[in-house]
Structure formats: structure tokens, C-alpha cells
Amino acid sequence: MDAIPIPRDRADACPGALQTHPAADGALARVRVPGGALTPGQLRVLAAAARDLGDGALELTSRGNVQLRGLRPGSEPELGDRLAAVGLLPSATHETARNVLASVLSGRVGGLLDVRSWVPAFDTGLCADPRLAALPGRFLAAFDDGRGDVAGLGADVGLLALDSRTVALLLAGTDTGLRAGPDGAVALALAATRAFLAVREQQGGTAWRIAELTDGRERIATALGGRRDEPRTVPRAPAGGPAGAVRQDDGRTALVAVVPLGRLSAAQADLLAATAPGDLQLTPWRSIAVPDLPGTGAAPALAAAGLELDPGSAWIRVTTCAGRPGCAKSLADVRADAVAAVRSGTLPANGARQHWVGCERRCGRPSGEVVDVVATGEGYRLG
């Protein structure tokens, strides 16, 4: 048995762009961005929507998606129309299922394979299958080009390049031993996704993740069939992603801007869109990569706008939940308190990687080793 089932007495209610969440500061919408890939035009549309319909900022999530907060009542149809017009809402029925991570700067910096083409192929296949609209909003796919930057993030279905001709299928972050070539990898990932739904239905249809199923990995792998190789050890997820100037294999430069606490103002988004010569990439570490630049000339303007380009910055190690006023359950304005601690150099736990939260639910906690800084109503405690 590879999992202890977690009983679920309600359906997954992850918000989407059309199915919003009623937060204390207004409706919250989550826009899926498969692989984190955004065109400059799409980023401008998101920034304009944040200004016109929300609180003026975008939130970056640990799945490379975007949230808009403080949406005015009844704004969902207009938001949906804006997103659909620029390709950010290709399917109203599948929108919450489109959670896909991809190796950062794949095809530009290192890696054994360029996985960029896998993302739209998987997304198109997912949206084309009516059955996959039933996927829980927590379901996650991750495509790793062999560097191990996203394979260890515990995705339900993962692809990990082992060499230029071999791709491993991962389920719940573990290698199944099933293999495919690069051209067949997406089909295998889609088959595994369909098999998850089948096994989930056999076990009551309430699980949100593969890890919540009884013997989920083995049952899905068996359903897929085929020869299995000896499973490989999956690389552990890194504590953080790249930051600052990254030299690409072709000699050009990618600037990776960390967004403090993942909150990107509309003005910062517009600046990034104006800086990018082509697609940008959101990362699981709440940063944005601007690739294919001729050099680092844009760095001073990004830094002056409040984006962090220093690989040693404390902002790379600090995350928070929404806190007050966005969450009614929070006991503190954790964002303001975390900002004050960073600016004053008084971070707890000797500045170790840490996640500040307003209550014991510890929402938004990143994977890996992290110190919890928990609001108590009378201050904070660690652990």
C-alpha cells in the first residue's frame, strides 16, 4: 500500500477564472497558466483586469498560476471574456483542471530535452477530452527536462527526461518504471490522467490527488500496462528557483525577477511585458523569467520597480498566506509583518526559509523544508 486514504466529504472547490472564491476582501479568481508561459499581451490583459476589476495586483502561486483578488461582484463574465480573447481560457469546462508545471527556461538553459512543446500538447489533449473536465482542481502535472527542478514537487502525473530518448512517467512524485520516447510522452501522461479518474471512481470518487488513493500509483501503472524498467530516484525539489541574470545556452540572457510575497502590481506587470521580447514564464517560486534578452540592460529598471534580482535576497526565502484583510480566519496581517521583518533584518529562525501564516491551516505552505511562522493573536510562534 503506497498511501493512506484521506477521507473527503466535499468536492474540491478550487477557484477558477469563472468559479471564484468569496474571500474577505472580495471574490478571488485563479487563472491557470500551463507551464507558466505568458505572452506580453496576455500579461498586459491580466494587469488591466487587476486594475479594472480587482485590487490592482496579481498574485503568483506555487503552481505558476495567477490570482486576482478583490474582484467586484458580478465581474466574472467580463473577466472570462477578457481572458478568452487572448487565449487564457480555452475551455470553460476544463479551466480548473489545467494545472501544469514545466522546467524553468527549458530549451534555453541546460536540460536533456526541451519540454516546452509538451505543455500545449497536454493542455490541448486535456481540454479535448470531456471526461477530464471531472479532474479535481488540485490535480497537477509536471514536465521536467532532466534537471530535476519540478519533478520533485509532488505532481500527480509527471514526466522526467532521463536522456535525450527516454522519458519516465512519475505518479505522485515517484517513478513508475514506465517509459516513453519524447514523442509519446504526452500521450502517456494523458493516459495516466484518465486512469487516475477511473481508479478514483472505483474508490468512491472523492480523492483530490493520486496520493490520497489506496495503492493509487500501482493501480494506475497496472492499468496502463507495458514493460517497466527499474524505477529511478526522483530528484528532490530545490528550495528555490533561479534569480537574477541567467546566461542562456545561446549566449543571450534571461532575467529572473522574484516577486516579493508573490504580489505583482499591475505597473510591475506592464513593465515586465514591455521588457520581454517574447514569451515570459511564471515559475513555482513566485518569480517571472524574461528570456532571450541581449544582455542585462533591463535589470536596473526591474529592480527599481521593486522586483528582486539578487540571488541572495531574503525575499527568495520568505512566503506568506493571504492573511488579513484578505482572509477572515487570519489572526494577523502576515504580509505586512513579513515585509517589516525583511526590511528591518529581523526575520526569525536566523533567516531560514520560512512561511508566515495567519492561522493553523497554514495555507500556501511550499514543499520541502520550511519553518512555519504562525500567528497566534498575541504575536508569532515557530513550528
Per-residue CA distances from 301 to 40, 252, 306, 326, 348 (Å) = 17, 19, 9, 30, 31
Contacting residues for 379 by C-beta, under 8 A, at least 6 apart: none
Q: What is the pLDDT of residues 348-368, one digit of tens each?
A: 999 999 999 999 999 988 888
Q: Round to whole Å and give the CA distance between 13 and 206.
A: 12
Query: What rounded mean pLDDT belongs to the chain?
Result: 95
Helix (H, G, I), strand (E, B) or coil at 365: coil
Asked whether 351 and 317 are in contact (CB, 8 A), the reply is: yes
Say how many CA atoms lie within 13 Å of 371 toward its Cβ: 14
CB atoms within 10 A of CB 78: 14
CB atoms within 10 A of CB 198: 13
Say how many CA atoms lie within 13 Å of 194 toward its Cβ: 15
- Choose among 37, 35, 15: nearest CA to 27: 15
pLDDT at 3: 46
Asked whether 280 and 327 are in contact (CB, 8 A), the reply is: no
pLDDT at 8: 67
- Cα dihedral: 289, 292, 294, 300 (round 10): -10
What residues pair up with 354 in beta bridges, in sequence order? Answer: 318, 371
Q: What is the pLDDT of residues 123-150, one digit of tens each?
A: 999 999 999 999 999 999 999 999 999 9
Is the previous residue joined to 348 through a cis bond, with omega within 30 degrees of 0? no
Say how many CA atoms lie within 13 Å of 23 toward its Cβ: 26
282: pLDDT strictly greater than 60: yes
Q: What is the pLDDT of residues 174-191, one digit of tens each?
A: 999 999 999 999 999 999
Helix (H, G, I), strand (E, B) or coil at 64: coil
pLDDT at 368: 83
Contacting residues for 245 by C-beta, under 8 A, at least 6 apart: 253, 254, 255, 296, 299, 309
Tell me the domain boundaries of the chain.
318-382
Q: Which of 2-11, 60-69, 205-214, 269-278 has the lowest mean pLDDT?
A: 2-11
Q: What is the pLDDT of residues 159-218, one digit of tens each?
A: 999 999 999 999 999 999 999 999 999 999 999 999 999 999 999 999 999 999 999 999
Contacting residues for 178 by C-beta, under 8 A, at least 6 apart: 168, 169, 188, 221, 224, 226, 228, 229
Structure confidence at residue 296 as a pLDDT band (50, 70, 90) = very high
Q: Which residues of 125-154 are buried (b: 16+ CB within 10 A; e: fewer)?
A: bbbebeebeebbbbbbbbbbbbbbbbbbbb
DSSP letters for 152-164? GG--SEEEEEEET
State the pairing for strand pair 37-38/26-31. Answer: unpaired
Find the distance separating the first CA and the last CA of the chain, reported in whole Å: 30
4: pLDDT strictly greater than 60: no
Please report, rounded to a whole number, the percentage of residues in the chain having pLDDT higher than 70: 97
Helix axes 40-53, 76-85, angle to 10 degrees: 170
pLDDT at 366: 86
351 grid coordinates: 533567516
Q: Which of 13-17, 37-41, 332-336 has the lowest mean pLDDT?
A: 13-17
